[in-house]
């Protein structure tokens, strides 16, 4: 279970965070989902999809339920409470940096050949395993693995500038 968590938690957390938009709520959902996986591991049916697809389905459903619950709670609060709600939205600087990062990743993906882009998209955004991709595309498993590996190596090279640590701003201690 620890290995499964280590391999999948970042993806599941990212999905929950994207749906909920709240770091704390996404952590709560993630905890609930992994507890459910632990308790219901025997109910997993390999013929219906990969373990990560099952996990992401559980995460998505739980996050949507949580989001609806939060929305329902807010709808019953008095109007005066609206003035007390703070804004957790990212500032212009972080939004600009995120947009730039997004643009660079899209540009890097666009620079791959169509076959590499397709298998990487199916693997990382579609959640399919290598063998599921091979089956879906009607291609040999080795070909799919080679295209993913080659494409990922190219992406690593193209996106290397994003991995450079940024200088930390000094705090003003006046």
* pLDDT by residue, tens only, the chain of 174 residues: 778 788 888 888 888 888 888 889 899 999 999 888 888 888 777 777 788 888 888 899 898 888 888 765 555 556 565 555 555 555 677 667 777 878 888 888 899 999 999 998 888 777 788 999 999 999 999 999 999 999 999 988 988 877 755 555 454 444
What CATH code is assigned to 94-161?
1.10.10.10
User: In the chain, what are the domain boundaries?
Assistant: 2-76, 94-161
Do 2-76 and 94-161 fold alike per CATH? no
> Under CATH, which number does the domain 2-76 receive?
1.10.1740.10
Total-model pTM: 0.44
Of 45, 42, 64, 62, the residue nearest 53 (C-alpha): 45
Instruction: Tell which residue, 63, 111, 91, has the closest CA to residue 55.
Output: 63
């Amino acid at each position: 279970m620890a290995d499964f968590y280590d391999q999948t938690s970042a993806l599941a957390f990212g999905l929950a965070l994207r749906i909920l938009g709240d770091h704390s709520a996404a952590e709560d959902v993630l905890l609930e989902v992994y507890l459910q996986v632990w308790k219901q591991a025997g109910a997993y049916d390999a013929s219906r999809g990969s373990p990560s697809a099952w996990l992401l389905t559980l995460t998505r459903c739980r996050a949507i339920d949580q989001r609806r619950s939060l929305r329902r709670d807010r709808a019953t609060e008095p109007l005066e409470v609206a003035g007390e709600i703070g804004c957790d939205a990212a500032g212009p600087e972080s939004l600009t940096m995120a947009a730039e990062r997004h643009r660079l990743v899209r540009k890097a993906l666009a620079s791959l050949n169509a076959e590499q882009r397709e298998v990487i998209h199916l693997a990382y955004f579609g959640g399919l395993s290598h063998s599921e991709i091979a089956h879906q595309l009607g291609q040999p498993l080795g070909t799919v693995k080679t295209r993913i590996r080659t494409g990922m190596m190219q992406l690593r090279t193209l996106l290397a500038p994003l991995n450079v640590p940024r200088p930390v701003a000094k705090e003003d201690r006046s």
